[in-house]
Amino acid sequence: MRIATWNINGIKARIDNLTNWLSNEKPDIVCLQEIKSVDEAFPRDKIEELGYHVETHGQKGFNGVALISAKSPDEISRGLPGDDDDIQARFIEGVYAVKGGVIRIASIYLPNGNPVDSEKYPYKLKWMARLAGHAEERLALEEPLILAGDYNVIPRPSDCHDPAAWAGDALFLPQTRAAFCKLLNLGLYDAVSGMNDTSGQYTFWDYQAGAWQKNNGIRIDHMLMSAEAADRIDSVSIHKNTRSWEKPSDHVPVVCEINYDWA
């Protein structure tokens, strides 16, 4: 089974890129972030034409996540538990029947958190604590679990081109990295860096200032997995070439080959 995550940066602006990529790569399940669309306006027809099932959790203007799958999920839940007042659409979770059981997959768009002296940074840290609480609950199920998405966290200095430039940024502050470590310490496996030498490997390049041409990138799109899922990984790769396409997203897909088959 091929499972992917991609911050698409606007589904309406990126639908042709996405359908081309789906046709070429034929992933089984794709976690999308930043669809920037309400559910009703999501161009689901063009994805369904390729034989996929679509589940969205959108909002007006920004944020928004989705799950695309070759087969329908058994269950879908929208929104990260833990704060009924949080209306930002940043989390959707699906359960899919596979041979021998189920696989549970969440598409995650973790808050950016900048500027750090605003209310946005405490919101980020609180969201990360809520995610840890939810992950702990799900890990207790002892299922294959994949939490994939745009974490807006640079885990280590080698995950960015210019660490000094990120020193005071919400993506790289010690507290942010500590909160990410806390997630891992629950027993989640960091599949991208675990399966690859990720030093200098990035998943995001800014549109500005020739960042792509200079390879001035950061690695902030991650796949965290329970042991049940991690035990079956064959490979994980970063689809860097999509960043050179016409009208690219500023993020590229991360793809995992995992030894599960549809039920």
Q: List residues near DNA by CB under 7 A.
A: 7, 9-14, 34, 36-38, 41, 60-63, 111-112, 114-115, 120, 150, 152, 169, 171, 204, 206-211, 218, 220, 247, 250
Is 251 annotated as contributing to ligand binding?
yes
In angstroms, what is the minimal distance from the CB of 96 to DNA?
A: 26
Is 52 assigned a catalytic role? no
Catalytic residue among 28, 150, 169, 190: 150
Token match 């002892």: residue?
142
Is 221 annotated as contributing to ligand binding?
no
Catalytic residue among 96, 109, 121, 202: 109
In angstroms, what is the minimal distance from the CB of 247 to DNA?
A: 5
For 2, the 3-state DSSP assignment is strand
Is 251 assigned a catalytic role? yes
Query: Around 249, how many Cα atoms within 13 Å sit in the side-chain half-sphere?
Result: 29
Nearer to DNA, 96 or 202 (CB): 202
Is 250 annotated as contributing to ligand binding?
yes
In angstroms, what is the minimal distance from the CB of 217 to DNA?
A: 8
Burial of 108 (0-12, 13-18, 19+ CB in 10 A): buried
Is 162 annotated as contributing to ligand binding?
no
Extract the runs of DSSP E, i.e. beta strands, from the chain: 2-7, 29-33, 53-57, 65-69, 75-78, 91-98, 101-109, 145-150, 189-190, 204-205, 217-218, 221-225, 233-238, 254-258
Strand-by-strand arrangement of the 29-33 sheet: 53-57, 65-69, 29-33, 2-7, 254-258, 233-238
Is 206 assigned a catalytic role? no
The answer to whether the peptide bond before residue 43 is cis (omega within 30 degrees of 0) is no
Is 150 annotated as contributing to ligand binding?
yes
In angstroms, what is the minimal distance from the CB of 106 to DNA?
A: 17
Nearer to DNA, 87 or 209 (CB): 209
Is 7 annotated as contributing to ligand binding?
yes
- One DSSP character per residue, 137-203 reads HHHTTTS-EEEEEE-----SGGGBS-HHHHTTSTTT-HHHHHHHHHHHHTT-EEHHHHHS--TT--S
In whole angstroms, how far apart are CA 2 and each of 54, 109, 263?
16, 20, 15
Nearer to DNA, 11 or 230 (CB): 11
Q: Which two tokens stand for residue 83?
A: 């704060």
In angstroms, what is the minimal distance from the CB of 195 to DNA?
A: 23
Query: Could you list the active site residues?
Result: 109, 150, 251
Q: Which residues are documented as binding site for Mg(2+)?
A: 7, 34, 150, 152, 250-251
Q: Which residues are documented as binding site?
A: 7, 34, 150, 152, 250-251
